[in-house]
Amino acid sequence: MKALILVGGFGTRLRPLTLTMPKPLVEFANKPMILHQIEALAEAGVTDIVLAVNYRPEVMVSILQKYEDQYNVKITFSVETEPLGTAGPLALARDILGKDDSPFFVLNSDVICDFPFQKLKAFHQAHGNEGTIVVTKVEEPSKYGVIVNKPESSMIDRFVEKPVEFVGNKINAGIYIFNPAILDRIELKPTSIEQETFPLMAADNQLHSFTLEGFWMDVGQPKDFLTGTCLYLSNVNKVNPGALANPNSGYVHGGNVLVDPTAKIGKDCRIGPNVVIGPGVVIGDGVRLQRCVLLEGSSVKDFAWIKNSIVGWHSTIGRWARLEGTSVLGDYVTVKDEVYINGGSILPHKSISSNITEPQIIM
């Protein structure tokens, strides 16, 4: 089987992290974001993966090579010379996606969920039509495009963009499976698959919806990255609790803490819930962490307090510092002792020695 991952551009919504690392390589729960997807695809029997990007992906090529061997997949980069929207990349990768009759997956690189590729494939093959859209239930459908099915059927009837009145609460989760026949519908030009291709497929009774049971999150921006981390960790707790830090380890508070084995944690800390501690991270004594992500090589000195924040690679948080309010630190940022940061987005290699009390970007 084959798959296309829509990676897109520079990941500006996830800056300052994406100033250092292409978005697919930013670690989500201690694993490059795209690896969550590659793993799940490989498990579902995918052997050919196309990454659709619209920038030069040199950095990624070398890093992804080792995963080709590890997961026994072939990864190809499909580089757009002009932005092709969400459908155009399918046309650009026609050679791979259409090389045989088997269906192929398409997914958005920002999406994190309990990828149900096996079930999706079985569902798709059972209805026998051209495409299946994975949908997820949301509480506030008025913010999204809602998908309405035909009565008593999985077949999609219509799409309603930002409905004013309640028509349903299922939205496009950004994960699809298509037969190669869809390629005949798409030209090699900028096209939106959601707005141009899908309505026509629905009109031809060729499009079904598959409802996601577990969690789902678009983690393309810091606030959602943290929310997605919480959802992901809860799911790990459900399906593989042994992967999380032992709740009886003394420092775990409220559960759902993921710690890389190479990280070091000091005495009298209180960590959790919803904390991810990356490789080589050093945590001092008396540190309090909750709902935060500490990326590889960062260090948190004694008595610091961090909540709702992302600490970038090799950054240092000083003693008695306090971080909160969706603060995001790039790599090699130094926060001096006793400094308070509320909602600071701090670009790489900055040293912060005075308080940032209101959300702002530090260039």
Partner 1 sequence: MHPKAIILVGGPSRGTRFRPLSLNVPKPLFPVAGKPIISHHIAALSKIEDLKEILLIGFFEDSVFSQFLQDAAREYPNLHIRYLREYQSLGTAGGLYHFRDEILRGNPEQVFVLHADVACDFPLIQMKKAHEGHRGLCTILGTKVPREVANNFGCLVAKPDTNEVLHYVEKPESFISDLISCGVYLFDCAIFDEIRKSLENKKGNVETDIYGREVFQDGNKLRLEQDLLRPLAQARKLFVYETKSFWRQIKTAGSAVPVNGLYLEQLLSTNPEKLAKNTPGGPEIVGAVYIHPTAQIDPKAKLGPNVSIGPNVFVGKGVRIRDSIILDNVDIKQNACILHAIVGWNSKVGCWSRVEGTLPAAHNSTAVTKNGLKVQSVTILGKEVTVKDEIVIRNCIVLPHKDLKQSCENEIVM
Residues that bind partner 1 (CB under 8 A): 268, 270, 285-286, 288, 302-303, 305, 319-320, 322, 324, 338, 340, 355, 357
CB of 286 to partner 1, least distance (A): 4
> How far apart, in Å, are the Cα atoms of 199 and each of 128, 196, 274, 285, 324?
18, 6, 39, 57, 43
162 is catalytic: yes
CA angle in degrees (0–180, nearest 5) for 37-43-46: 80
Which of these is catalytic: 99, 119, 162, 264?
162
CB of 274 to partner 1, least distance (A): 15
Neighbours of 309 (CB within 10 A): 26
CB of 230 to partner 1, least distance (A): 18
Task: Locate 246 and state its tokens.
Answer: 């032992």
Residue 56: partners with Cβ closer than 8 Å, 6 or more residues away: 79
Render the burial of 242-260: b for 16+ CB within 10 Å, e for the rest: eebbeeeeebbbebbbbbe
Answer for the pair 53, 29: CB distance below 8 angstroms, yes or no.
no
CB of 287 to partner 1, least distance (A): 8
CB of 205 to partner 1, least distance (A): 55
- Termini Cα distance of the chain: 45
User: What whole-number distance in Å separates Cα of residue 167 and Cα of residue 189?
Assistant: 32
Nearer to partner 1, 215 or 340 (CB): 340
Which among 250, 251, 257 is positioned nearest to 276, based on CA atoms? 257
Nearer to partner 1, 175 or 356 (CB): 356
- Residue 81: what residue type? T
User: What whole-number distance in Å separates Cα of residue 174 and Cα of residue 191?
Assistant: 16
Among all residues, which ones are annotated catalytic? Answer: 162
